[in-house]
Amino acid sequence: MPNLVEINNVEKSYVKAGGNFSSSRVKVLKGVTFAIEEGLCVGLIGESGSGKSTLSRLILGLEKPDKGAVLIEGQPVPEWIKANQGKMSVVFQDYTSSVNPKYTIKETIAEPIRAMNYAGNLEDRIDALLAKVSLSPDLKDRYPHELSGGQVQRVCIARAISTNPRFIVLDEAISSLDVSVQTQVMNLLHQLRLEMKMTYLFVAHDLQAVAHLCNKIVFLYRGEVVEQLMSADLVNAQNEYAKSLLASVIPFDV
């Protein structure tokens, strides 16, 4: 299957707090290279400080790499986004700050649809999107504080798919949810990806979740890709860091 996203030898550094010179810079990403194949869910896993969030921002076009390139269908991210309006979406970890508390659920979901100059019936579109994420249309006139955390994150997912995207970045999208709700949301995401023929980057620190949802897993350690495997091949991991994470789900011979 063709690559939708290619990350080629990407480097990114930031100035240390209080630092003013190049010697005070901290390299967060160090020659990161991997691909996100079209139609797959690719997991990006690493501990806090591994560079996952930085890489997500580069892929979303919110920042630029210092070196290397992030390409979508062979184009730099800003160019691709400009030519493919609404075809990339994101779902963040903190659903409480992802929605405007003054907006009803209907207004929250309608925002990106209106930006696309949607010509159809907006009410019907919102009802259909709520149904897709297993929420009742009766909730559309409520406010976020009137819903549970799992319901608000489903609203965020409905908003993310409202423009029929091809690619969604799920940045710790289930981490803030109760464990009992996480599996429900993961199953929903899996179903939507297949139904809508989307591609996911699933960024997480929880290997159980990544192994459950993803076709391929990329292990990021201290800013470097140390292992990447298809989910069916996890028993073949060679890197010690990857094996230490996988030990919780796969017994390795010592």
What pLDDT does 251 receive? 53
Delimit the domains of the chain by residue range: 95-165
Nearest to 163 by CA among 110, 113, 107: 113
| Residue-wise pLDDT tens digits, 145-178 | 999 989 999 999 999 999 999 999 999 888 878 8
pLDDT tens digit sequence for 21-38: 556 889 999 999 999 999
Distance (Å, rounded) from C-alpha 4 to C-alpha 249? 29
d(CA 172, CA 181): 14
The length of the chain in residues reads: 254
Q: What is the pLDDT of residue 15?
A: 87
Q: What is the pLDDT of residue 254?
A: 38
> Would you state the torsion angle of the CA atoms of residues 67, 68, 71, 74, taken in this order, to the nearest 10 degrees?
130
Cα→Cα distances 240→12, 43, 93, 113, 233, Å: 25, 18, 28, 46, 15
Q: What is the pLDDT of residue 23?
A: 64
User: What predicted TM-score, i.e. pTM, was given to this entire model?
Assistant: 0.92
Q: Looking at residues 90-97, what average pLDDT do you find? A: 84
Q: Tens of pLDDT along 115-132?
A: 888 878 999 999 999 999
| 86 confidence band (pLDDT: 50, 70, 90) | very high
pLDDT score for 247: 86
